[in-house]
Structure 1
Amino acid sequence: MVLNEKQKSLCRGHRFDFSGLRALFLNCTLKPTGTLSHTEGLLEVSKAIMAANGITVEVLRPADYDLAPGVYSDMTEHGFARDEWPQLWEKVKAADILVLGTPIWLGEESSVCRRVIERLYGESGKLNEKGQYFYYGRVGGCIVTGNEDGIKHCAMTVLYALQHLGYTIPPQADAGWIGEAGPGPSYRDKGSGGPENDFTQRNTTFMSWNLMHMARLLKKAGGIPAHGNQRSEWEAGCRFDYPNPDYR
């Protein structure tokens, strides 16, 4: 089973109502669907916790999409022949909770993860119905796996990016697992110890519940209060000889 007895007990022993919430897990592995992803193994734990509490959950791999580089909504309008980001963007828009999962490569998050963040950035100038930046009222987290050091470093950069774009980051919004440094078993490999690692399972559980609690609170409150944070009330000035960014 994906969840251990402690995790199952937490899912049974409460009266919180998380119905109506949607969570999107973007597994930024370099591998397409159909191939083994160790990052997805740990994402499945968080997914199972949320699903057990009535949250609608979807896991997707951006590697399955032809995502052009860039920071615009549709890069076919900027010289690229193909861009499937608009399809993925529809999923992002519908999610109250966004979790980015990434492996560690050379101490950093994957290139796929960075591209996803860049494409999220390209939408950050859009506004919600209150005139706030679009991601206000949504919650973000991240999960990191690998067999080299760097969980906290990757989490730092991913969570910074998400909060800068407007996502709310609750306490303990990251979790991860790394095996012994150097060649060796990864999370889903037999005998890795990853699925049984109490520290990793605890952090993944805390992260999942904190994301759910924060999303529920924001939903119930109608999002972040719209005072002092509306772009329409504070139009950015232009730099000399440069127009304002086009946020249409």
Structure 2
Amino acid sequence: MSRTTTTGRARRYALRWLALGYLAVVLVGPLALVFWRTFEDGLGPAWNALTTPETIQAFELTLLITAIAVPLNAVFGVVCGLLIVRHRFRGKGLLNAFVDLPLALSPVVVGLSLFLLYGRQGWFGGWLEEHDVHVLFALPGMVLATVFVSLPFVCREVVPTLREIGDEQEQAARTLGANGLETLRRITLPAIRWAVVYGVVLTAARCLGEYGAVAVVSGRVQGQTETATLRVEERYDSFDVQGAYAISLVLALLAVFVLLAMSLLARKENAA
């Protein structure tokens, strides 16, 4: 074995261990600490913390918001991806840039912008108050905040896939007499299905873990507008540290489940 080969292999091992060590310090270590602190006094206290009516309602509200936001962003992502890749129109570059805005904008700023729109002194606040429509400190505002922060993921998975597959099959389908809806249903959607699913998984993960924007617009009313992430902060501020760790552990397990789902989807996509 040559000296060059040995040196190259040593560098690869060094980089590999460096990456694993970084992940252990940044990711695995904190998760292990959360797990240990959750069960350091046994299963009973953690179970009691997770089964309180307020905590159950917080998880139910989190799942409800996710169930609303994910389909909305899935439809938007597919439509927006088709517009960006398959059509030419004025403002296309601007639309493409705006899709990435939630990735660059602080979630707290998103929440404050919703106040400027739907607050009492906002653009639509007066009309909403006259018609007794509640957006802020209610479910609609929390859904809007979550939809905004999780908006780009499906679109950003669909766009490169559409560019990669091209439009030859779609043109052939139209040549054979298929209308736009038939082409979308039989040609386009099957071709991008894994990109859509992958984007949906990422969107769901972002919705489950959202804190900043929702914290601004929710009002944090226990049993009404408190999500799981807000419940963690409330328990910690109330000196119920183990309860906060127990809820955090459930959220971490949901994140791990999402990662496993992404890995399985990637394998199926490669095998397809």
Tell me if both proteins adopt one fold, taking TM over 0.5 as the criterion. Answer: no
Structure with more strand by fraction: 1
Structure with more helix by fraction: 2
Structure 1 or 2, whichever has the larger Rg, is 2
